[in-house]
Amino acid sequence: MQTSLILIKPDGVQRRLTGRILSRFEEKGLQIVGARFMKIPLELAETHYEAHKERPFYPGLVQYMTSSPVLALALRGKSSIAVIRKMLGATFGSQADPGTIRGDFAISDGYNLVHASDSPEAAEKELGLFFPEGTVDYGMADTPWVYDVESDLG
């Protein structure tokens, strides 16, 4: 099982899409192990996006991410990082396939609704930034059905 950081970005919050986006992840079978509605402090945004510091879009990205609240989520599931990124679709909404979150809800190439960790290493770092107290471990009653674990079906 992997845990990934998801940020429903300011445009997703302002467009009232948080519930619809979150429900897509839950319907897929991913488990919410952390949730935090917050306005990202400038220092956290700068740290989170420090890999892009030298890129021309960095100042605008930091400004955008601190402009309005986000919903930070920790989602757990089998191969969750790859599954979530596939569910999101291409980075730019105008290029994302229908059926993906960005393909269904985004057209902008600047505002793309959701951030997701792109590797286990990135997930570990990002989860530490947004959930320093850790995440919640608990069992789900539907796990045998979601993951086809016949031995647990009784």
Residue 109 half-sphere exposure, CB side, CA atoms within 13 Å? 3
CB atoms within 10 A of CB 10: 19
Name the amino acid, one letter, at 84: I
What pLDDT was estimated at residue 110? 87
pLDDT in tens, 22-78: 999 999 999 999 999 999 999 999 999 999 999 999 999 999 999 999 999 999 999
The answer to whether the beta carbons of residues 93 and 106 sit under 8 Å apart is yes
Helix, strand, coil percent content, the chain, rounded in steps of 5: 45, 15, 40
In-domain check, residue 90: yes
What CATH number does residue 110 fall under? 3.30.70.141
What pLDDT was estimated at residue 52? 93
pLDDT in tens, 90-136: 999 999 999 999 999 999 988 999 999 999 999 999 999 999 999 99
Span of 82-86, 91-95, 101-105, 149-153 with lowest mean pLDDT? 149-153
Q: What is the mean pLDDT of residues 11-25?
A: 98
The answer to whether the beta carbons of residues 75 and 21 sit under 8 Å apart is no
Cα separation, 47 vs 4, in Å, equals 18
In-domain check, residue 87: yes
Burial zone of 122 (CB within 10 Å; 0-12 exposed, 13-18 middle, 19+ buried): middle
In-domain check, residue 86: yes
What pLDDT was estimated at residue 29? 96
Q: Please tell me the total count of domains within the chain.
A: 1
What pLDDT was estimated at residue 148? 83
Parent domain of 119: 2-132
Residue with tokens 């505002």: 111
Cα separation, 124 vs 135, in Å, equals 12
In-domain check, residue 137: no
pLDDT higher than threshold 50 for residue 146: yes
What pLDDT was estimated at residue 151? 56
CB neighbour burial string for 71-106, b if at least 16 within 10 angstroms, e if fewer: bbbbbbbeebbebbbebbbeeebeebeeebbbbbbb
In-domain check, residue 145: no
In-domain check, residue 140: no
In-domain check, residue 126: yes
User: Active site residue: 7, 22, 115, 126, which one?
Assistant: 115
What pLDDT was estimated at residue 154? 46
Q: How far is CA 101 from CA 13, 27, 76, 117, 138, in A?
A: 14, 13, 18, 15, 27
Name the amino acid, one letter, at 82: A
What pTM was computed for the model?
A: 0.92
Our answer to whether residue 48 is catalytic in this structure is no
In-domain check, residue 149: no
